[in-house]
Amino acid sequence: MKKILIAHNSQSGNSKKLAEEFAENYKDIFEVDVKPIEGINEQDIATIHGLILATRIEAFGADRKMRAFLERIDTYREEPIPKIGVFYTHSMKWKKFFKKGMDKTMGKLNIFKNNYPELLEVRVKGMKGSIIDGQEEKISNFIKNLKSYIEN
Ligand SMILES: Cc1cc2nc3c(=O)[nH]c(=O)nc-3n(C[C@H](O)[C@H](O)[C@H](O)COP(=O)(O)O)c2cc1C
């Protein structure tokens, strides 16, 4: 089975909860791990086929620790990771610029060449969540579409 890693830096649980939903849906065809970014080592990155970045928005952009994590793991392998997916959780109305910094960081790194182009942003209540109802369909469509991107 191909290995998939879902990395998060969840502080209040929203991106972790979604990461686990992805894992639940992927475990029939992939070997899936959900891990906090600080626990991810060179070995984890060296052998994966897919990486999903469960990213929290903080101060109008992708969490800085997630971006620093991307820079750290770029040195962990020579070849680009075959399949990359990203999703975001946030509390304010979504603004395109929230993902600008993340795109910039990924754009300059060698291992992020095969990014799934679709965007999933999931809105939460208040500054800490929980996930606002009514987004289930877009979440499950994204999970399904990303799965087939990673598989093929
Ligand atoms: C200190 C702080 C700053 C935040 N800044 C923003 C922000 O600028 N825009 C936004 O939409 N949400 C913001 N949020 C909300 C988080 O993005 C949201 O709660 C997210 O789901 C957190 O993910 P987590 O539960 O996985 O930690 C902020 C939350 C905190 C605690």
pLDDT at 36: 98
**Which residues, 6 or more positions from 15, have their beta carbon under 8 angstroms from its beta carbon?**
8, 9, 54, 55, 56, 87, 89
The pLDDT of residue 73: 98
pLDDT value of position 103: 97
pLDDT at 17: 98
Average of pLDDT values for 64-74?
A: 98
Query: What are phi and psi for residue 105, nearest 5 degrees?
Result: -60, -50
Please identify which residue in the block is written with the tokens 């109008």.
Answer: 60
Q: What is the DSSP letter of 110?
A: T
Burial status of residue 69 (CB atoms within 10 A of its CB: 0-12, 13-18, 19 or more): buried
Average pLDDT score over residue span 109-134:
96
Tens of pLDDT, residues 86-111:
999 999 999 999 999 999 999 999 99
At a CB cut-off of 8 Å and minimum separation 6, what does 135 contact? Answer: 122, 123
Across all residues in the chain, what is the average pLDDT?
A: 97
Buried b (16+ CB within 10 A) or exposed e, 126-145: eeebebeeeeeeebeebbee
Which residue, chain included where needed, has tokens 């500054």?
127
Residue nearest to atom 29 of ligand 1 (CA): 127
pLDDT digits (tens, 9 = 90+) for 12-35: 999 999 999 999 999 999 999 999
- The residue type of 70 is L
Domain region containing 41: 2-151
Half-sphere exposure of 97 (CA within 13 A, CB side): 2
For residue 85, which of 48, 59, 57 has the smallest C-alpha distance?
48
Confirm or reject: Cβ of 9 under 6 Å from ligand 1: no
**CATH number of the domain to which 99 belongs:** 3.40.50.360
Ligand 1 center–CA 59 separation, angstroms: 7
Per-residue pLDDT, 29: 97
**Which atom of ligand 1 is nearest to 57's Cα?**
17
Give the integer Cα–Cα distance in Å for 15 and 19.
6
Nearest CA to ligand 1 atom 18: 90
Cα of 47 from ligand 1 centre, angstroms? 31
Confidence at 76, pLDDT banded by 50, 70, 90: very high
Quick one: which atom of ligand 1 is closest to the CA of 63? 17
The ligand 1 atom at the shortest distance from the C-alpha of residue 15 is 26
Give me the number of domains the chain comprises. 1
Q: Using the mean position of ligand 1's atoms as its centre, give its distance from the Cα of residue 111 in Å.
A: 27
pTM above 0.95, yes or no: yes
